[in-house]
Every structure is written in C-alpha cells, then in structure tokens.
Structure 1
C-alpha cells in the first residue's frame, strides 16, 4: 500500500515556540480584548482558559460567544506579515521531505492562509499534495475525531494508509484510535502508548522503516 504522510505544522515542521506562537497568542489576546471589551489581563486569561478547556480558543469562542465571527478571529490572530518576519525551520527540513517516499499532506489547527504562507516561506510547498486547515474542516480542530475524519475525506485517504507526524500526544491519540501509524516528535526520551515511534528530530524520519 502507498504511504501517506500526515504532517502537523507548528512545532513539527518549524519551531513555532520561538516566534509564531508568541505572535499568535498576543494577537489572540488583543482581538479578545477589543471584540469582547475586556481588560488585557482578562482577555489573556480567557484565551488560556478556553484553550485548556476545549483544546482550542476557537472552540471556546464558538460555544460562549456565538455572535463573533470565527473567520475574523482566525485571520486577526494570524498576522501573516508579522509571522513571516522570523522563521525557524526544523533542521534538515527540506532534505527530509525530499527523501521521504510517498505523498505528504499538511493537517493543522491554523487557518489555510497561515498554512500556505508558512509552506511557501519555508520553501517546502512543492512537497505537499494538500492542506487541511481548521477553516477547510468546518472549524473542527484537532484532536477532535470529526476533524480527522474530515481531513481523511478531504484527501480521500484511509486511516490505515497514513502515518501521522505530530508533537501533540492528544492529536496522536485520536490518530491511533482511527488506525493510523503515529510518530511523536518529543523533546525528551520517554515513549507513550499513542506513539508507534518517538523521535527527537524530524530528520530522523529518513531512517524510518515500516
């Protein structure tokens, strides 16, 4: 059977913690502060609370503030001009993707415009056969099963034919339950039942054997 690689974006293909995540978190807080007429402190607390409770600030907004436009929120919280100012690709990113056999797809909780921009700026767009973003999946984020099923339907794939590469164990748990092979990019040495393989560096995929 052909191999289909399902890649996460943030902290998988690039180190989002160094620039992208701080920019996105700040933009989210500012948007919440303005749109919901909150103090900066309250807006920041709300952003973090919704992320902890629902897995995504977006889901908390949709549940408790149906009056807001989720697409406006996604665009405002991903300021592309600012995000492209500092890129931190994973070591040997281009070489790794070029040497991996099989088709590659991106599956991200970010919006499509952000995903496309990052792939272009990282110089790896040509390696990907498709992008599933939160706004192509009816605003369903990972790790919800509905998001995974929508992603598979979008790409016309079967879970059993896919290998998912992620830094998030919650997302890998869902992938494994659906029948995907799973690879966990983790900073430490420990393993986890959700991961068929655990690696500390993306370029270690080159030595991956099914």
Structure 2
C-alpha cells in the first residue's frame, strides 16, 4: 500500500463518471433527461430549461434540490424519469473490479443519485457485490453534495472516521467539504468537471484512470 494512504480504512466513491468513464456518456443522457423534465414542468423552451437546470445545479448542488425548493417536485417521480436511460453503454472494467476487490477496509458509494439507479449501474459494471452500502440523495434528505450536512450524515450513518477515509469524485467542488472534515481527496480529471476554473487546493490526488491509480496504490 502507498505509504501516504496506509491510514485509510474507508474507501468512498462517487458513482457517475467515477466508477465508469465519462466517455461512456451515460450521464450525458441523464443530463438531457433532466432538461426535458424541467422543460415539461415549467412549460418553457429548451434553452430556458437548460438555464434553469444549470442555475439550480450550481446553486443547490443538484437540479432536483432546486426543483424541490422552488416547485415542490416529487423526488421519486423526478429520479425515475431522469434515470430512465440506456445502460448498455456501460462495460465492466476488469482492472477496476480487481483493484476494488483488493482494497483493504470498507467500501461505500456516495452519490447524488438514488440507490435503485446506483444498483443498476453497479450490476452493469460487475460491481454489484463490491460495496457495503450506497449513501444516496434520499439519505441526505435532498441536501446533496457539496452540502456539508451530506458528508456529516454519511459519516454518522456508517460510523466513519473522516480522518481514516478517502473520497473519490469527478467533480472537484464535491471534494472541498470532504477535505474540510479530514478526508483524503481524489479528483478524477476526466473531462466531466463543470466548474473547470475553480480552486483545487483541497485536492490530495489528481488522477485520470481510477483502476490504474488503485493498482498503483496497492502495488507501491
């Protein structure tokens, strides 16, 4: 094990564009479905729906959180709609499967999506039995990453010491609250970042391929 990470007991992973490559474009399909949902809800143009969608994303962490706050949107109806996408674009990554299996300690998924969707993705990736738990948007009471309460709730729910925890994300802004409570932070710089010019001082490791990096960690 890489000496810098010998203290890690808890390995926490984002789901979308983290446990599968951004090049799969699965989240691009979800993003389009979100736009369609906003357009239908508000009865507006695609352009206005896109503006609202991204304004909510940046202000609230997720478009859903903004829709709940301003429009009382039913989260289950929303999530069922936006996650109705073709998952055949996903493929198992044997190097990642092997590396995750070898990691010592606990492994969890921390996602702003919901658990039913996450389980479908994990099964498609060959990771259905890999993780102890999925901490999803429902578990955060719809106060998603990067809300500090989402990270506190994760640690309380699974009795995690953040100083012994590592968190992997493709969205750098979601790593800042993790670092603030003592987690080791890993950013996957894979082209999915939506705030490219933001501060990166809270990132401990920047990687491009999760499976390859984990093998390096394990073999150091």
**Structure 1 match to 2:205:** 197
SS at 1:124 equivalent: coil
Q: 1:137 aligns with which of 136, 140, 145?
A: 140
Counterpart-to-counterpart distance in 1, 2:201 and 2:95: 27
TM-score for both structures, normalised by structure 1: 0.88
Distance (Å, rounded) in 2 between the aligned partners of 1:137 and 1:192: 25
Other-structure match for 2:50: 44
Given candidates 180, 183, 187, the residue that maps to 1:184 is: 187
What residue in structure 2 maps to residue 115 of structure 1?
118
2:216 to 198, 201, 207: 207
The correspondence for 2:160, drawn from 157, 170, 176, is 157
Most deviating of 40-49 and 155-164: 40-49
Shift, 1:40, TM fit: 2.5
Aligned residue pairs: how many? 205
Provide, for residues 109-164 of structure 1, a one-character-per-residue CA deviation record: whole Å limited to 9, x for no partner: 11111111111111112110110011122112101101111111222212112111
Residue in structure 1 matched with residue 83 of structure 2 by the alignment: 78
**RMSD over equivalenced CA pairs, Å:** 2.2
CA contact (8 A) 1:164 1:183 kept: yes
The TM-score, its normalising length taken from structure 2, stands at 0.84
CA contact under 8 A between 1:75 and 1:111: conserved in structure 2? Answer: no
Report SS of the residue matched to 1:9: coil
Q: Tell me, in whole angstroms, the C-alpha distance in 2 between the residues paired with 1:196 and 1:2.
A: 13
Given that 2:18 and 2:168 are in contact with CA atoms closer than 8 Å, whether structure 1 keeps it comes out as yes
What runs of 5+ residues in structure 2 fail to find an aligned partner?
Answer: 1-6, 192-198
2-structure distance, mates of 1:111, 1:122 = 17
Q: Is 1:98 paired with 2:101?
A: yes
Distance between the aligned counterparts of 1:127 and 1:207, measured in 2? 20
| CA–CA separation in structure 1 for the residues paired with 2:91 and 2:144 | 24
Q: In structure 2, how many angstroms separate the alpha carbons of the residues matched to 1:11 and 1:98?
A: 20
Report if aligned partners of 2:17, 2:27 keep a CA contact under 8 Å in 1.
no
Q: Is contact 1:27–1:76 with CA below 8 Å preserved after alignment?
A: yes
Moved over 6 A (4+): none
